[in-house]
Amino acid sequence: MAASLTGLLKPWTPRVLLVRWSRYNPYYLEPEPRKEVYHIPETELTPEQKEERELKSVRPIKAATNSVTSSVFNDPVLSKFVNMMMKDGDKIIAKGIITQTLENMKRKQVEKYHKAPEGKKAEIECNPYAIFHQALENCKPVIGLASIQKGGKFYQVPIPLTDNRRRFLAMKWMITECRDNKHRRTLMYEKLSQELLAAFSKEGNVVKRKHELHKMAESNRAYAHYRWW
Amino acid sequence: SFENRLAFRWFWLPEPVRPLHGSGCGQQQEAVGMEMRPETFSIFRTQENDPDCQSEQHQGQYYTVPPSHFHTVFPHGLPPRYQQQVKTFNEGCVMVRQPALELISHLKRADYSKPTLRYLLYGVKGSGKTMSLCHTVHYCSTQGWLVLHIPDAHLWVKNCKELLPSSYHASRFDQPIQASNWLRNFRTTNENFLSKIKLRQRYVWTKRESTEEGQPLGELVDMGVSRVKSSSDVVGAVLKELRLQAGGTEGGFRLAVAVDGVNGLWGRTTLKKEDKSPVAPEELTLVHNLRKMINNDWCGGAVIATLSQTGSLYAPSSAYLPQELLGEEGFDSMDPFIPVPVSLYSEKEFESCYLYYLDRHWLQHPHSQTEEGKKELIFLSNRNPSVLERLCAFL
């Protein structure tokens, strides 16, 4: 009986050998990467947490993916950006480009900071992460367009966008802009840092594209009632 | 504030305002004391900017290289990432560390009528050998020595586009570009010596050009910079003249030969002759002359060298000891030498570096300014200076 049970406990059920997907047996539990959870002393655990810990000590646990860290410097938005920039699964190159971008932005800003007079110093933002997040916010469109068929013709109808879709569009525009519209000899990190700094101060091609989308949505207001959801 | 809390943890006392050895140091302290900002004193900075007066009490602290000295003393020779850092922070600060202090104390007490002593800085990758060398070079130039700084000997044994057969010696090869670049930087570093040193021999370059005896060294160097074809031979002539005149009693100067990546002089090169056979290092004029300089058959100066795996050819990346990197031939030529090990940052030095980055607004990530972030930095970098620098660059 034990042999048949362990036969059922295989981590994968490979009918077909899948390279990209991982289909774990549902018996396996998710790993917990956050450090704070393990620092709670025994006495302060709630009954549910105690139960969960006991369960974890008997059940097998899935292997953690490469993008999961317990580091304090982990940033989910940045990880998503790295994944979007990745080509052919080469995350090392994508992560390298992003770190060079952050360093480049910080260098430019810190140089400006050290050369600025005392009054202007407080206005210069030196934190590359803050600049990145603010720039992304400035690039996110508020309203999008969908192609809806009515009476044989397709109309561009303004629709609300979910948060995920907005974030995705902002990142996608940023990456395509930096890949396509640059001089042949500029490196990706140089162009990305220029675009992010421009987007931070609401200039540059990416916010221009966002404004154009907004204008198109505004001009197509009449078709808004074609949306049924 | 953050710095003050750390100040009490480390129990560092402010520098005593008593005159140290040497006449210049005491007055300097008083004068500088007037300009000190009335804010909290910084643990990681010292106002003692003269390498002569620095001692063990300044270990771990950063001193500023005066901007006027920067372009004359270091036209080449600083690591590229450090140059970027200087440009960003608008100041050049070097940490006073134990290997450099040891070297400087040896240089102060050495007897310069005896044959030259050779000092070799070795350590793991990124532990601060080049920066210690630059600190020592700064000391030598503030003391008025003539400094011969070769930024990286590996640059002379690889990636050479033009390899001319030498006019002086049939089987050797010249490297005009590298030689003329080096001469230009040499001219910037040692402007004041160029007119004082006179040549003791007549040098003939071509049928129509020659440099007479008694001409100042500056003319020789200018000729090498303008006539690129014979610049390697000019380098050889300059080195020979300096070797002869270094220990001289009349108008004698002290000569410091600082070579970074000295293990490139022995070993293999990646250069090839026209028939695709490899070039040995001794077949290059520059390397041949530099090897003669490193021999201890002259007196009146010192040879300070650094090993480097980073630019080296055909050396495994885990090798850092002199025996491994110099090879048999190199070790026999360098023997006897004074080894100076360069270690990773100690706890005090790491704290100092961390505080310096905080002060210069380099650590911007909110978590990097907490205790946990600091522990993570220690763990990720293992206190290796260059790894820490690269980590803090994007944090």
Report pLDDT digits (tens) over A103-162. Answer: 999 999 999 999 999 998 989 999 999 999 999 999 999 999 999 999 999 999 999 999
Same domain, A36 and A100: no
Same domain, A200 and A94: yes
CB A133 within 8 A of CB A198: no
The pair of structure tokens assigned to A151 is: 């009476």
Same domain, A52 and A160: no
Q: What's the average model confidence in pLDDT over B327-349?
A: 92
- Contact criterion met (CB < 8 Å) for A111 and B372: no
Question: Omega of the bond prior to B336 within 30 degrees of 0, cis?
Answer: yes
Task: Give chain A's domain count.
Answer: 2
Report yes or no on A191 lying in a domain. yes
CB B118 within 8 A of CB B337: yes
Decide which of A12, A44, A74 is a domain's last residue.
A74
Question: Which residues constitute the domain of residue A64?
Answer: 23-74
Report yes or no on A112 lying in a domain. yes
Question: Considering only alpha carbons, which residue of chain B is nearest residue A128?
Answer: B364
pLDDT at B249: 63
Q: What is the pLDDT of residues B96-121, one digit of tens each?
A: 999 999 999 999 999 888 889 999 99
Same domain, A107 and A175: yes
Same domain, A127 and A216: yes
- Contact criterion met (CB < 8 Å) for A73 and B395: yes
- This prediction has a pTM of 0.85
Strand order in the sheet with B255-260: B146-150, B255-260, B301-306, B117-122, B338-341
Same domain, A50 and A136: no
Report yes or no on A5 lying in a domain. no
CATH number at A185 reads 1.10.455.10
pLDDT at B136: 95
Residue in B93, B361, B376 to test binding to A, most A beta-carbons within 10 Å: B361
Decide which of A39, A74, A109 is a domain's last residue.
A74
CB B129 within 8 A of CB B122: yes
B83 Cβ contact partners less than 8 Å away, ≥ 6 residues apart: none
Report yes or no on A159 lying in a domain. yes
Q: Of all residues in chain A, what percent carry a pLDDT higher than 90?
A: 68
Tell me the CA distances in angstroms from B389 to B82, B252, B254, B343, B373, one per residue in order: 9, 41, 35, 16, 15
SS3 B42: coil
- Pairwise CA distance, residues A13 & A25, whole Å: 7
Report yes or no on A7 lying in a domain. no
Same domain, A133 and A48: no
ipTM of the complex: 0.85
Decide which of A58, A74, A90 is a domain's last residue.
A74
A106 in contact with chain B, both atoms CB, cutoff 8 A: yes
Q: What's B41's DSSP letter?
A: P
Which residues in B lie closer than 8 A to residue A114 (C-beta atoms)? 88-90, 360
The pair of structure tokens assigned to A94 is: 């994508």
On the CB side of B176, CA atoms within 13 Å amount to 14
Q: What's B198's DSSP letter?
A: B
CB B301 within 8 A of CB B247: yes
Same domain, A141 and A214: yes
Question: Helices B385-394 and A91-115 meet at what angle, rounded to 10?
Answer: 80
Residue in A107, A109, A112, A192 to test binding to B, most B beta-carbons within 10 Å: A107
Same domain, A125 and A154: yes
Same domain, A139 and A195: yes
Question: Quick one: pLDDT band at residue A47, thresholds 50, 70, 90?
Answer: confident
Report yes or no on A14 lying in a domain. no
Burial class (CB in 10 A: 0-12, 13-18, 19+), A27: exposed
- Pairwise CA distance, residues B345 & B124, whole Å: 12
- Contact criterion met (CB < 8 Å) for A110 and B393: no
The pair of structure tokens assigned to B102 is: 């040891």
Same domain, A103 and A196: yes
Report yes or no on A1 lying in a domain. no
Res. B336: pLDDT tops 80: yes
Helix, strand, coil percentages, rounded to 5, for chain B: 50, 15, 40
Averaging pLDDT over each range in A189-193, B247-251, B310-314, which range is the top one?
A189-193
Report yes or no on A107 lying in a domain. yes
Same domain, A112 and A222: yes
